[in-house]
Amino acid sequence: MSAPALTVWFDGACPLCAAEIALMRRLDARGAIDFVDVASPDAACPIDRAELLSRFHAQEAGGPIVSGAAAFAAMWRAIPLLRPLGLVAKVPPALWLLEPAYRLFLRARPAIVSALRAPLSRLRDEGDRRAAG
């Protein structure tokens, strides 16, 4: 099997993050993305674990590790259905708009998770079952 086109590090202990990754796994039919749950103690962390948990990170094969909106854009580009969005998001003016929106989301994330804990857990569990095969 060839190396993944993209590695994504995510906070699997966050129900919102885990539910989103479950959706991305379903959309990644080609298996182009290696999803790494940084909340797992045995996860390989190329940078500080706390930094990986604080923001979404990704690395395209041979490229630098990026975070925030740039990491989402990289993930979208790796999924054929979302690739057009990822290409638009790669353009600097789009990233300049998306990054502040991502920072706002980070501040709101605890409240969102609290409000949506039960439905997000069901989505995450369904995604985990599908990923396990």
Q: Where are the domains of the chain?
A: 6-132
Q: Which residue shows structure tokens 């539910």?
A: 19
What is the model's pLDDT at position 132?
A: 67
Strands 6-10 and 57-60: antiparallel
- Beta strand ranges found along 29-128 (DSSP E): 33-37, 57-60, 65-67
Mean predicted confidence (pLDDT) in 108-132: 73
Q: What tens digit of pLDDT does each residue of 4-55 get?
A: 899 999 999 888 888 899 999 999 999 999 999 999 999 999 999 999 999 9
